[in-house]
Structure 1
Amino acid sequence: MTDPVPFAIPTRFAADPDRVALVIPGMGYSPARPLLHFATAALLQRGWTVQELWWRVPDDLGRLPLAGRASWVAEQVGHAVDAEGGACRLLVGKSLGTFAAALAADRSLPAVWLTPLLTLAEVAEPLRRAAAPALLVGGTRDDLWDGQVAAGLPHEVLEIPGADHSLEMDGDVVGSAAALGQVVAAMHDFIARV
């Protein structure tokens, strides 16, 4: 008897093979969650090939020093970018995935950073030196977002008043949906220009 075909979530959506965008999750925020799902949809609508990165975060990652966490993310993202053979032209990362900011700066890759960890030098410093365009999106109720740091960076910024680390409003589903709409519109516009 043959093994049944396992059900699997597609992780690659093909369009223009010369314009690949890598979608990078957070620690507990997969590419299937709303912000990254709609980032993928916006990219596809603009003709990009999308490669979603799905990872299993090591159990001890939270106990590693920040440099160790940044190194782990850079290794995962670096392998994924290298696998595209030069066709990766854009990164879209959420939270933990924004530790890839150093890689984006080093390789001059444009990026969309959703809830970047701006309170950490391991993310903020690479964003200061990044020459490629970037869109930074965060909420005023996110302890890991720093609006003053964001405003001082040479990138586009969308700050959502009252939004938390998931860019949602606590106890306000309609407000959360409206915030999602703002983020999707900003991503859609940014993607059209890179």
Structure 2
Amino acid sequence: MNVREGIVKGYKEMKVPYAFLNKTENPKGLAIILPGMGYTVKSPILHFATGAYLNRGYNVLHINYEYHTDLYDHFTYEDLKSALATDVMTVLHETLRDADFKSYYLVGKSFGCLAMPEALNFHSLQNAKTVWLTPHLKEKNIFETMLNSQNKGLCMIGDKDSFYNQESLEQLQTNKNINYFIPPEANHALEIDGQTLDSIDLVKRVVKMINEF
């Protein structure tokens, strides 16, 4: 596997690392991974999803913003949302300026999902398939994007996740472009509290669904 790392200056000139991964000279497409606040690309689902895309012949772009570090301690939640939007779009412009992949996936986890509405306006990603992992269903820009999305999508969120909202979900499920998987008892990590082996089985199922989507 080849890894090309880089850094851009994003929101307020702060550094935003990214990494391009590939295993083939002739990729089928590109999967872009937007991790959560603390759920990084090294966390189970995103780690194995990355491997699944690479094994399918896709290149993978990790956008590794570092909002969980003390550099961002003084940021408000609104500051962080502004930073996320700016940082993701800056990396996309830097890395995909001249790209011409045949197929795109946009995969967001939790906080990373907040960048997906704007990212989908990027010229290369307007027809991207979307994977929404534990999105905050009551965030206005996420809710409206998912409700009106013409992109094929997959959303997974457990009913024990603090971001889960039954009312929002019922409305979102009227859009048949997005399929939903709601694992019972699953928390925000898409794991089951106190059940290690069941959690492993659930992570395996989630990654399998991502791989087959």
After TM superposition, the score normalised by the length of structure 1 is 0.83
Match of 1:59 among 39, 59, 73: 73
**Alpha-carbon deviation of 1:36?**
0.4
> How many equivalent pairs are there?
179
Match of 2:21 among 13, 19, 22: 13
Deviations 1:59-81 (A, max 9, x none): 234x233xx44332222221222
1:152 equivalenced with 2:174 (yes/no): yes
Q: Distance in 2 between matches of 1:99 and 1:161?
A: 24
Match of 2:84 among 67, 73, 90: 73
1:142 equivalenced with 2:161 (yes/no): yes
RMSD of aligned C-alpha atoms? Answer: 2.2
Q: Which amino acid in structure 2 is aligned with residue 159 of structure 1?
A: I
Q: Which amino acid in structure 2 is aligned with residue 160 of structure 1?
A: P
Instruction: Specify the SS of the correspondent of 1:132.
Output: coil
1:62-101 equivalence runs, <5 A: 63-65=76-78, 68-82=79-93, 83-85=95-97, 86-87=99-100, 89-101=104-116
Deviations 1:123-167 (A, max 9, x none): 111112221111111101001022434423430111111000000
Q: Distance in 2 between matches of 1:54 and 1:64?
A: 18
User: Percent same amino acid at aligned positions?
Assistant: 29
Which residue of 1 is the match for residue 207 of structure 2? 184
1:17-56 equivalence runs, <5 A: 17=27, 19-56=29-66
Q: Which amino acid in structure 2 is aligned with residue 145 of structure 1?
A: Y
Which residue of 2 is the match for residue 5 of structure 1? none
Q: Distance in 1 between matches of 2:196 and 2:171?
A: 28
Where does structure 1 lack aligned partners over 5 or more consecutive residues? 1-9
Q: Which amino acid in structure 1 is aligned with residue 204 of structure 2?
A: G
Which residue of 2 is the match for residue 110 of structure 1? 129
After TM superposition, the score normalised by the length of structure 2 is 0.76
Residues 139 and 164, structure 1, Cα contact 8 Å, conserved in 2: yes
Where does structure 2 lack aligned partners over 5 or more consecutive residues? 1-17
Instruction: Specify the SS of the correspondent of 2:31.
Output: strand
Residues 141 and 162, structure 1, Cα contact 8 Å, conserved in 2: yes
Q: 1:60 to 1:153 in 2, by over 3 A?
A: farther
Q: Which amino acid in structure 2 is aligned with residue 32 of structure 1?
A: K
Q: Distance in 1 between matches of 2:53 and 2:90?
A: 21
Q: Distance in 1 between matches of 2:182 and 2:155?
A: 8
Which residue of 2 is the match for residue 3 of structure 1? none
Residues 131 and 153, structure 2, Cα contact 8 Å, conserved in 1: yes
Deviations 1:21-51 (A, max 9, x none): 1111100010000010011011111110011
Q: 1:29 to 1:164 in 2, by over 3 A?
A: same
